[in-house]
Amino acid sequence: MADTTVAIPAKDSGIAFPATTAREGVLTWWHVATSDMRRAWMAASLGWMLDMFDVQLYALVLAALITDLGMAKSVAGLLGSATLLAAAAGGVMFGVFADRYGRTRAMMTSIIIYSIATGASGLAQTIVQLAILRVFVGIGMGGEWATGAALVAETFSTAHRQKALAYMQSFAAFGLIAAPIVTALVMPTWGWRAVFFVGVLPALLVFWIRRGVKESRMWQAVRSAPVAERGRFSDMFHGRLLPITVVVTLMHACSGFAWWGLNLWIPAYLSLSVSQGGIGLSTQMMSGLMVAQYIGQWFGYVTFGYASDRYGRRVSSMVYLVAAAVAVLAYVATSDPLFLLFLGPLVALFGTGHLSGFAAISAELYPTAIRGRAQGFTYNVGRVASAVAPFTVGTLAQSRGFAAALSLTAVAFVVSAVMWIWIPETKGRALE
């Protein structure tokens, strides 16, 4: 590592960032971080990891739910859609909450909501009861991402923001890896209800966040400013921000449709019997394939962070999205477990890697005064459109089969790539 150092401008947060080296190592962003920065990053990363762990449990026990509660595939998909619609509402609500009361308070509240609702899902006796609880899971899920991403974006400097956010996003893969492992260990003996009970454990993270994580200094600076300078919800729809808000939201909608359409239904596709349109794999084999897929997802998140810093947000996103479409089409063309073991990680690498750029692009496009609500709005209102994915894929799978249904997600990936033509490049942009 070179000896020469350059100071990072303090414009990003109003504080003096540690110096960084002219030639960076892979983990330079972590080595130059202060203890407060590391705690903020860890809190957001663990919150996001446990968020995805809780959400994915539904997909992993879905085949059992269909049998035990007598749900049609369309109804099962509708519950998944309801969760995403609730996530959209939660993202907007907690974005406003985070801008008004702070990133850490909003993050703690969202974690408590999704944890308790997931655990309570194990007590559901009817489809209606389960649907209500999944709505609360969605509210907490949507709120956690918006608040955690804003906290990390405001904590790290321009030179390291994208990499810190990419590694934060990559923790979703750890949650997704843990979910099938827990399912494989718990469900064969204690059933799907016990799997949901495990999902209440993330609530314990709140105690550590409350004790050890400090609020964003950028947010504190804005809150100490006169009321007129604090920003309004409507600011993201004025002037130059209006077209940006529209196209970013559409991009999120298309990529979200593809992601949720795939990730909610692939476990069921692998587990359901051939007569039900699936491949008929055992719970253990399905879980093994999903773990391999989630490992590929982690590499996708991390590699995108470095690609985005080197080649730019736009080009990197377009390449990953188009590659994801190709990988999905190859995935649905085979039912051989060995080929699926190879293709699954590729689908996850490209199909989810681009997600780690969402927090950076939103943070760099919007000022601090409205950053939380802008991130919450664009990412989660995009989920309103993507919320139709579980229902659409489930309904199409019932009538046309899983190959046709999952191929629809490849089309959504391509449309999302096209949206990037109109999104400004923000590589190297300091936060306002």
Task: Name which residue leads in pLDDT, 108 or 362.
Answer: 108
In terms of pLDDT, which residue wins out, 155 or 10? 155
Residue 40, pLDDT above cutoff 50 = yes
Between 365 and 418, the higher pLDDT residue? 418
What topology is assigned to 34-422 in CATH? Answer: Growth Hormone; Chain: A; (1.20.1250)
- Count how many Cα atoms sit within 13 Å of the Cα of residue 25 in the half-sphere of its side chain: 8
* φ, ψ of residue 21 in degrees (nearest 5): -85, 155
- Say which residue, 193 or 372, is predicted with more confidence: 193
- Name the residue with higher pLDDT: 278 or 19: 278
Categorize the per-residue pLDDT at 8 as very low, low, confident or very high, splitting at 50, 70 and 90.
Answer: very low
Rounded-to-integer distance, Cα 164 and Cα 178, Å: 22
Q: Please, what's the b/e burial string for 333-352 (b: 16 or more CB within 10 A of its CB; e: otherwise)?
A: eebebeebeebbbbbbbbbb
Residue spans of alpha helices (H) in 124-240: 127-155, 161-190, 192-198, 205-212, 217-223
What is the pLDDT of the chain when averaged over all its residues? 82
Please state, for a pLDDT cut of 70, what percent of the chain lies above it: 91
Q: 147, 144, 129, 131: which is closest to 87 by C-alpha?
A: 144
Residue 414 pLDDT: 96
Predicted confidence (pLDDT) at residue 306 exceeds the cutoff of 90: no
Rounded Cα distance between 92 and 86, Å, is 10
pLDDT at 6: 34
Residue-level pLDDT at 300: 92
Q: Is the pLDDT of residue 129 over 80?
A: yes
Which pLDDT score is estimated for 224?
65
Residue 10 pLDDT level (bands cut at 50, 70, 90): very low
Pick from 2, 7, 30: nearest CA to 18: 7
Q: Which amino acid is at 367?
A: P
Write out the two tokens for 278: 């699936």
What would the pLDDT profile of 198-239 be if each residue is shown by its tens digit? Answer: 888 888 888 788 777 887 777 777 776 554 455 666 677 777
> Which has more confidence, 273 or 139?
139
Is 16 a residue whose pLDDT tops 70? Answer: no
φ, ψ dihedrals at 256, nearest 5°: -65, -40
pLDDT digits (tens, 9 = 90+) for 382-428: 767 777 887 788 888 888 888 888 899 999 999 999 999 999 888 87
Strand 20-21 vs strand 5-6: parallel, antiparallel, or unpaired? antiparallel
How many Cα atoms occupy the beta-carbon half-sphere of 33 within 13 Å?
A: 23
Q: How far apart are CA 430 and CA 13, in angstroms?
A: 9
Q: What is the mean predicted confidence (pLDDT) over 292-321? A: 90
Pick from 264, 132, 114: nearest CA to 203 = 114
For residue 5, pLDDT over 50 is answered with no
Is residue 289 within 8 Å of residue 270, measured between CB atoms? yes
pLDDT of residue 348: 92
pLDDT confidence of residue 4 = 36
The residue whose two tokens read 């629809």 is 408
The more confidently predicted of residues 155 and 359 is 155
Read off the pLDDT of each residue in 226-253 and give the average, rounded to a whole number: 75
> What pLDDT, on the 0 to 100 scale, is given for residue 13?
42
Describe the crossing of helices 368-386 and 127-155 by its angle, rounded to 10 degrees. 150
Cα separation, 210 vs 375, whole angstroms: 23
Mean pLDDT confidence for 82-86: 83
The pLDDT of residue 409 is: 92
Please say whether the beta carbons of 152 and 37 come within 8 A.
Answer: no
Name the residue ranges covered by the structural domains of the chain: 34-422
**CA nearest to 371, candidates 254, 222, 168, 246:** 222
Q: What is the mean pLDDT of residues 323-333?
A: 93
* H or E segment and range at residue 426: none
Q: Which two tokens stand for residue 223?
A: 């809150």
Q: What is the mean pLDDT of residues 326-339?
A: 90
pTM of the predicted structure, to 2 decimals = 0.72
Task: Give the integer Cα–Cα distance in Å for 108 and 103.
Answer: 9
Rounded distance between C-alpha atoms, residue 13 and residue 217, angstroms: 6
pLDDT of residue 418: 95
